[in-house]
Structures are given as C-alpha cells and as structure tokens.
Amino acid sequence: MKWNKLLERQMQKHLREGTLPAELIPFLEAINNSYNAYERDRELSERAFKISEEEYIEVTRQLKEELAQKKLSIEQLKEAAVSLGEGGIVLESENLADIAGFLSEQVNKRKVAANRLSALIRNMQTGILLEDEHGLVALTNQTFCDIFGIPRSPEALVGQDFSRMTARHNSLFLEPERFTRRIARLLEDKKVAVDEEIHLADGRIVERDYIPIFIDGIYSGQLWNYKDITKRKRDEARLKASEELWHFALEGAGEGVWQYYLPEKDVFISPRHHAMLGFDDEDTVISPGKWLSLVHPEDKHILFEVDEAYSRDAISWHEREYRVLHRDGHFIWILERGMVIRRHPDGMPARIVGTHSDITERKLAEQNIRLREEKYRNIIDNMNLGLVEADNEGLIQYVNQRFCDMSGYTPEELTGQNFLPGLSDASEVAVQNKKGDTRWWFVSRAANYNDSGVARGSVLIALDITDRKKLEVELQEARESAEQSAKAKESFLANMSHEIRTPMNAIKGMSIQLKKTPLDAKQQQYLDTIHTATNHLMVVINDILDMSKIQAGMLSIESIGMNLDNVIRHAIHVMEPDATEKGLALGIHLPAGLYPILMGDPHRLNQVLLNLLSNSIKFSEKGGVDVTCSVLNATPSSQLVRIVVKDTGIGMDANFLSTIFEQFSQEDRSIARKYGGTGLGMAITRQLIKLMNGDIEVFSEKGKGTEVCLTLPFQRGKKADLPSDADNLPGKALLKGKHILIVEDNELNRFVVKTLLKGYGVVIAEAVNGAEAVRLLREQTFDLVLMDVQMPVMSGLEAIAIIRNDLKLGVPVIALTANAIREEIDRYRLAGMNDHVSKPFEEATLIRAMTQYLG
C-alpha cells in the first residue's frame, strides 16, 4: 500500500523496520486516509477564493465527516489497545505513536503467551486438535499424529480439514461410518461431550472429548482431546474378571468374607454371611461385641486366645473353628481363617481380613463317623475280629482287645510297632504269637482318609484262620487222593476198554466176514447171535466210557446236516430184529412237515433213540412199541420237534420215576437180574438231550407201560451242510493196488484187517511192532499205514515220532486202537497220526477213513 509521506515518516520514526503488526494495518489505513484528507483540505483552502459559496459549504461538510471518522478510528484503536492489555488499563493519550507503542507491547506479550500455550500442547500426552469455525486445523500436537498414524508433522496439518482426512482413512476405525456420523452430530449440536470411546481397527481404544469454543457468544471452532486408553481398559477388564472370579469363588464355595478394622472396632461382613447366619441384607457392619454375643459360650475362649496372640504380635494369621448362633436360634459351626494385612506403626494389627465357611455338615459327618467307628469297632469285637489302625508310616496307633488276644501282646506293647510291612490289600499270613506258636491270619487292609480326602494311614482287620488252614490241608490231601483215584479209574477204563475191544475186534470182524460166505439157516442164526452179543457188549462198554466223559465234562455234541426222518427210521430198522424176536410190533408215525435238512448230531440222536427203543423192547412182553414224531413250532429257520417213544411194558412206580436219571439207577435187583443192563442208559440220555438244548420227560404207571417224550430244537440246514454220503463206499478201483502197511502185535487183529481188505485189491505188508514198521518205512514206500498204539518193543507213539521227525515222511497214519477215550485220541493226533478208528470197527468206517487220505 502506498502510505502518505507524513504518516510514513512517523512510522519510520516510531516503528522498527519490518515490525508492523497485522492488527494495526486497518487502523493505520484510517490514519493514512486522514492525512490524505488533510492535504486535500489544505489545497481547498488555497483555492478558497476560487470556489463558490455552495462548494465551500460542501467541502466543509465533507471535512467534518472525515474528522468525525478520524476521531472514531482513534477511539476504536484505543479500545483495541485496551482490550489487548491487562484489565484496568486506561489509555488517555490520543497520540497515534503512543497508541502504536502500547499495541506493539501487548502484541509481544500475546505472542509469548501463544508460544507457551503451543509448547504446552505439543508436550501433552493426549492428542490435541484445535479447529476454527470452518473446521480447519489451527493447532495440534505429535501425540495426536501418533494416535491416528498420521505421517505428517503437527505444523504441516495447520490449515487442513481433518474431517476430510479421516474420510480418506476409514480403515483406521472399527466402525468408520459410526465415527463419521458422530463427528457430524457433534459439530451440528455444538454441545460438550466427554469420555466417548472410539474403537480402532487394530484393537486400540481411544477416549475422546469434544469442547465447542464460543467467543462473546459467537461460535469460533472446537477443541478435540484424544487419549489412548487401551492399556487402562485391558487392566480394567482384567481387574473386573479377577473380581468376578474372586467373588464367584468365594460365593460359589459358600465362603463369607469379613474385615476387622481395629481402630474403628468395626467388623464388615460380605453378603454371603446373610444366608449363612440369617442376617438382614443391610447388616453389613457389626461391632465386635455383637459378634462375640453370637459365639457359643463354650467357644468364646477360642476367640480370646487368638486375639491375645495378635495383640502380642505372636501370629500374623489364624485358623479356628467355633459355633455361632443363627438367627433362627440354632448354632452352626464355622471355620474362620484370617490374616493381618495392615499394621499400625507400633506393630499392632490395624486391619484383619478373612473368610468364614459353614462346616456344620462336616462336623455332623465327623460326629456320625465317630459314632459309626464306635459301632463298627463294637461289631468287629463281637465278630471275633482283630482291628488295627496304623498311620502313614505303618506304625500301629490303635488295636482292639481281640487283636491283643490273637497276638498275645498288650496294647502298650503293640502301639508304635510296624505291623506286617509290605502286606497287600488282602493276604493270608503265618505269624507267631507272643508264645511262639505259629498261627494263620487272614488280614485285610484298607486306606483310611480324613475329611479332606487325605490318607492318614490304614485300617487292618485280622481273622484267625488257623483251623480253616488245617482243614484246607486235609481237603487238599483228600483232593489229591481223589485225583489219584480218578486217574486210576481212568487208567482202568482205558485198559478195560482196550482189553475187551481187542478180542471183540477179531470176533466181530470174523463174524462179518463169515456172513459173506454161503451159510445155511442154522449157521446164519449162530452168526446173528454172536453179532447181537457183540453189539450188546459194545453198548455196555460205550455207556461206561460216555459216563466217564460226562463226569469229566468232555462229552460234546456236533452240529451237521441230517435228515431226521432217516435217523428215526434207521433206529427202528436196527431194533426191528429184537422186536420181532419178542413178537412185538414196531410202529412209526412221522409228520409230513419235517424240514428235509436239520442241523444236529445224528450219531448221538441215534444213540438216544436206540437206548429208548432198547429199553421199551426189553421191558415189554407183549403189545408193541410206537415212535411218534411231531412238529410243535416252525419258523422259516427252525423247528421245535417232539419225539415220543411209547411202549406196553411193565411200567414204573412214581418213586422210581424221581430217580430214573441217576447213574446205575434200576428199579430193583430182580429187574437187573432178569433184563440186564448197567443202569447208565437214561443218565447218559438226559445228558445228551441237555447238550442238544432239549428236554426229556418220562410218564409211567406200574403195569401200564411207559412214555418218554423228547422235545428238541433244530436249526434249518442246507444241502451243503450234509456230510458226504457215508453209505456209498468207494469202489475197489480207488483202493486197488495201494500199498498198505498193517502194524499190529495181535495176530488175530492183523488177520481181520487183511481179510477185510483182501476184497479191495490192496497190497499188504505187515509189522508186529513199531520198530519193525520204522524199518520197513526206511526201505519201502507205502500209501497208508494202519498202526496199533500199544505194542511191545516200540509203541505206535514212539514209531510215529521217528516217522515224522527222523524219516521226515508225510505218509498218512491211521491209529487202529482199542482205546476209545477222547483224551487219548487227542494225544494220538498231537503226536502226528492223521486219524483214528476204534476197535472193533465196522468195515464201512475203516474204508471211509482210508479213502479220505487215498482218494
């Protein structure tokens, strides 16, 4: 601006160069106008005589207006100078230089104050943002930039629009839209808002204060104060969680918290006490005197003793149990724990904090335990049992009188002793009493726990079993004697079976071969008699062996496919000659609905039917025997079948019916003499029916015959379940030319086998003992070996061991032995023999066994 020359000289005189304050420029402009007006006035005065009267009047008016404006400007300048200064200042001078000097001084003071304020704001630990009325940054600090991650300096932000900056950085905030809406609402309402929380996207939490600025009632901007409170909020959350956990633990565990302030003599109790003691909810502070009045008279000394110890500074914590009066009028037991958390300078407790637990139930339980222990001890004493209680070290703490009587020691002698170290939970031990006598005790040990579940030792109960041990020894001796007798019996049965079967094999074999020759009627009758007698003797032997198996629990049932119709018809066919001989009729009635294939044991079922038919024929002199089969129940996969054998024989009375299934059971000796028999048949029959999961019933009346009913369940079978056709023996072509070695010391038995096999075209070699058989096997090759077991020089078992282990031969070996006991047969197989055929044998049985390995 171009200044008036007079004003410019004044400014150069009174103001330093370059120090023209911005606040003075409007005022100096007014003065400059005044100087210019003055010069125009002087020019007018020089022309006064040149203008007209009207012009003079107009100029005078303008001069007056300009003068008034000048005076007004000077007054405004004075007011501005006074407003910049401290209160109470009066500026009388109208000299422009005086006013300018004053203004310069005040402006300098304001600059110092502004600099101090800026430094204060820059160093504050909160983020400060000062904006003008247009929303532009007037002032901020580094903390503000750090909070919002602004890479620019605070000075560079001055004059910027922060709202627009935040709009470009929405990713800073967890909820940017909410942040923007709230800023707009605050700027619109222009009301103070403090402690507002802003959640940033990185997890930090910032607290914001908003303060609108009004000067003389005119909105001039706002101040924003931001503070990072993330750590404080996390600490508050942890503190809150800790408090909740503490509160939950105490309240959940039923603990009441108390604080004892010694200077005030007040006791603060937590709400948990209200339920514990029945206090009102507002009874949170009580006096020590009132609390003491609630304590059971017998327990007050406990409180006095602890308080006295605190007063002597002898303890810093305590634990005590005592009774307190409930509001309902009954006493409860509480467990009190407390500790000093603050003391006076003289060392006396100032504040004690602790907990109360209601232990009434525990106390009642302890009382019940004591009563039970006394009861159990009395019971144990009356049961003649010794009782010992030991600690964790195994040292005796208590013994009852019975234990003292058993051991011969007094309680004083036993207390503190280590009782049977290393003893298991239940043991039989031999001990010496005080007299030196050996006694047997049964001792049972169990852990002993206190109320907290902590082991405090063990409890032992001892019973004198000396007499029982003596009895056990006697029983063991009797058992060993019985086992020896059983072995002797088994050996006898085996030997008896072998000795009878060996000659029976020759008799039966020769009779069968003889029947193949031409015979007249009388010769045929003689052979039939021999054959019948042989079969009868074999039934007796087999019954004895079966009963031996039953007693040993070794009799088993197999499950194979069978045709029940054929099984029943076969039994009838076998017994038909006996019935015909006595003039008895044999009837058979079979249902049409029988499944063609059922799963069962046809051999054992045939044995049962033969026994029942044999008994009916044996005890019937006239009439006949009927066999009836019926289906009681059928499903697609099973049938329940009833088989009834009914005769017209001599019958039985009711007394004998109750014992009919016992071993060696016969109604009287005269019957045994007249009809024969071992008395084992029905006992074996019942066992076989039980093994088949069936049932047997007998109905009989003396002189009116007998009816035996079998009820048997069968599963339905398939054609594949049927065994190979046992009746179709292989032709001679299969056996012809095979080299067979017969190893048998009995010449008759060798002759029977040779005669039987002669018709099949086999090549036979003979050996009379195992040693000779081994020699022949070293020298020749055989297709199969038939070997006896019991032979002189070398037995069959010794021979098979050499054949398998030394000669390494895999030739099939079939045991031909009179021994039919299952254990022995299993032993033969384990030794290396392939199969077994018992003497006396049927031709079909032997041929079938041979073709199994030669076919």
Whether 139 and 31 share a structural domain: no
pLDDT at 161: 83
pLDDT at 94: 57
Would you call 40 exposed, middle or buried from its count of C-beta atoms within 10 A (0-12, 13-18, 19+)? middle
Would you call 14 exposed, middle or buried from its count of C-beta atoms within 10 A (0-12, 13-18, 19+)? middle
Whether 694 and 605 share a structural domain: yes
pLDDT at 693: 94
Q: 443 forms bridges with which residues in the sheet?
A: 427, 462
> Per the confidence metrics, is the pTM higher than 0.75?
no
Q: Is the pLDDT of residue 557 over 70?
A: yes
* Residue located via tokens 């007299």: 435
Q: How far apart, in whole angstroms, are the C-alpha atoms of residue 174 and residue 230?
A: 14
pLDDT at 484: 76
Instruction: Among 50-54, 589-593, 674-678, name the one with the lowest average pLDDT.
Output: 674-678
Q: Is the dihedral of CA 26, 32, 34, 40 positive or negative?
A: negative
DSSP 139-176: EE-HHHHHHTT--S-HHHHTT-BHHHHHHHTGGGBSSH
Q: 434 forms bridges with which residues in the sheet?
A: none
pLDDT at 750: 87
Q: How far apart, in whole angstroms, are the C-alpha atoms of residue 697 and residue 686?
A: 9
Give the C-alpha distances (Å, rounded to integers) separating 610 from 154, 472, 837. Answer: 120, 46, 22
Confidence of residue 746 (pLDDT cuts 50, 70, 90): confident
Whether 242 and 218 share a structural domain: no
Q: Report the mean per-residue pLDDT for the chain.
A: 80
Confidence of residue 164 (pLDDT cuts 50, 70, 90): low
Confidence of residue 808 (pLDDT cuts 50, 70, 90): very high
Residue 650 resides in a domain: yes
Q: How far apart, in whole angstroms, are the C-alpha atoms of residue 164 and residue 172?
A: 14
Give the 3-state secondary structure of 49-60: CCCCHHHHHHHH
Confidence of residue 522 (pLDDT cuts 50, 70, 90): confident
- Per mean pLDDT, which of 320-324, 349-353, 448-452 is the most reliable? 320-324
Whether 368 and 354 share a structural domain: no
Whether 649 and 697 share a structural domain: yes
pLDDT above 90 coverage of the chain, percent: 22
- Per mean pLDDT, which of 272-281, 371-380, 713-722 is the most reliable? 713-722
Instruction: Work out the end-to-end distance of the chain between its first and last CA atoms, rounded to an integer number of angstroms.
Output: 141
Q: Is the pLDDT of residue 133 over 70?
A: yes
Residue 551 resides in a domain: no
305: domain CATH number is: 3.30.450.20
User: Given 339, 358, 377, which residue is the final one in a domain?
Assistant: 358
Whether 575 and 702 share a structural domain: yes
Contact 376, 280 (CB under 8 A): no
Cα atoms found within 13 Å of the Cα of residue 667, Cβ hemisphere only: 16
pLDDT: is 654 or 673 the higher one? 654
Whether 577 and 710 share a structural domain: yes
pLDDT at 49: 47
Q: Is the pLDDT of residue 388 over 50?
A: yes
Whether 817 and 833 share a structural domain: yes
The number of folded domains in the chain is: 6
pLDDT: is 839 or 634 the higher one? 634
Residue 515 resides in a domain: no
Find the mean pLDDT for residues 137-158: 88
Contact 817, 498 (CB under 8 A): yes
pLDDT at 100: 56
Confidence of residue 669 (pLDDT cuts 50, 70, 90): very low
Residue 453 resides in a domain: yes
Q: How far apart, in whole angstroms, are the C-alpha atoms of residue 769 and residue 756?
A: 21
Amino acid at 387: L
Nearest one of 40, 44, 36, 43 to 2, comparing CA atoms: 36
pLDDT: is 420 or 369 the higher one? 369
pLDDT at 756: 83
pLDDT above 70 coverage of the chain, percent: 74
Confidence of residue 672 (pLDDT cuts 50, 70, 90): very low
Instruction: Among 434-438, 445-449, 659-663, name the one with the lowest average pLDDT.
Output: 659-663
Contact 267, 259 (CB under 8 A): yes
Confidence of residue 674 (pLDDT cuts 50, 70, 90): very low
Nearest one of 785, 796, 775 to 740, comparing CA atoms: 785
Nearest one of 577, 566, 494 to 536, comparing CA atoms: 577
Contact 768, 738 (CB under 8 A): no
pLDDT at 530: 73
Q: How far apart, in whole angstroms, are the C-alpha atoms of residue 210 and residue 218?
A: 17
Residue 572 resides in a domain: yes
Confidence of residue 119 (pLDDT cuts 50, 70, 90): low
pLDDT at 551: 60
Q: Is the pLDDT of residue 498 over 70?
A: no
625: domain CATH number is: 3.30.565.10
- Would you call 426 helix, strand, or coil by DSSP? strand
Contact 370, 355 (CB under 8 A): no
Confidence of residue 44 (pLDDT cuts 50, 70, 90): low
Nearest one of 812, 744, 825 to 506, comparing CA atoms: 744
Whether 715 and 568 share a structural domain: yes
Q: How far apart, in whole angstroms, are the C-alpha atoms of residue 640 and residue 594?
A: 10
832: domain CATH number is: 3.40.50.2300
Give the C-alpha distances (Å, rounded to integers) separating 766 from 137, 362, 756. Answer: 130, 93, 14
Residue 450 resides in a domain: yes
Q: How far apart, in whole angstroms, are the C-alpha atoms of residue 763 and residue 740?
A: 6
Going by their DSSP bridges, the two strands 585-589 and 624-635 should be labelled as parallel
Nearest one of 760, 768, 771 to 850, comparing CA atoms: 760
- pLDDT tens digits, 675-728: 444 556 788 888 889 989 999 999 988 888 999 999 999 999 998 888 765 445
- pLDDT tens digits, 90-111: 555 555 556 556 556 655 665 6
Find the mean pLDDT for residues 473-494: 74
Q: How far apart, in whole angstroms, are the C-alpha atoms of residue 204 and residue 229?
A: 8
DSSP 643-690: EEEEE-S----HHHHTTTTSTT--S-HHHHHHH---S-HHHHHHHHHH
Nearest one of 136, 353, 130 to 256, comparing CA atoms: 353
Confidence of residue 249 (pLDDT cuts 50, 70, 90): low
Whether 260 and 179 share a structural domain: no
pLDDT: is 426 or 364 the higher one? 364
Q: Helical H runs in 203-271?
A: 230-252
Confidence of residue 627 (pLDDT cuts 50, 70, 90): very high
Whether 400 and 330 share a structural domain: no
Q: Is the pLDDT of residue 838 over 70?
A: yes
Q: How far apart, in whole angstroms, are the C-alpha atoms of residue 531 and residue 535?
A: 6
User: Given 671, 701, 721, which residue is the final one in a domain?
Assistant: 721
Confidence of residue 460 (pLDDT cuts 50, 70, 90): confident
Residue 479 resides in a domain: no
pLDDT at 546: 60
pLDDT at 486: 63
Q: How far apart, in whole angstroms, are the C-alpha atoms of residue 489 and residue 711?
A: 34
Q: Helical H runs in 557-651?
A: 564-581, 602-618
265: left (phi over 0), alpha (psi -120 to 50) or beta: left
Going by their DSSP bridges, the two strands 266-269 and 255-261 should be labelled as antiparallel
Contact 32, 69 (CB under 8 A): no
Confidence of residue 290 (pLDDT cuts 50, 70, 90): confident
Residue 480 resides in a domain: no
Confidence of residue 516 (pLDDT cuts 50, 70, 90): confident
Whether 590 and 713 share a structural domain: yes
Contact 52, 44 (CB under 8 A): no
Which domain range does residue 135 map to? 124-228
pLDDT: is 412 or 3 the higher one? 412
436: left (phi over 0), alpha (psi -120 to 50) or beta: left
pLDDT: is 328 or 803 the higher one? 803
Going by their DSSP bridges, the two strands 285-286 and 266-269 should be labelled as antiparallel
User: Given 432, 464, 496, which residue is the final one in a domain?
Assistant: 464
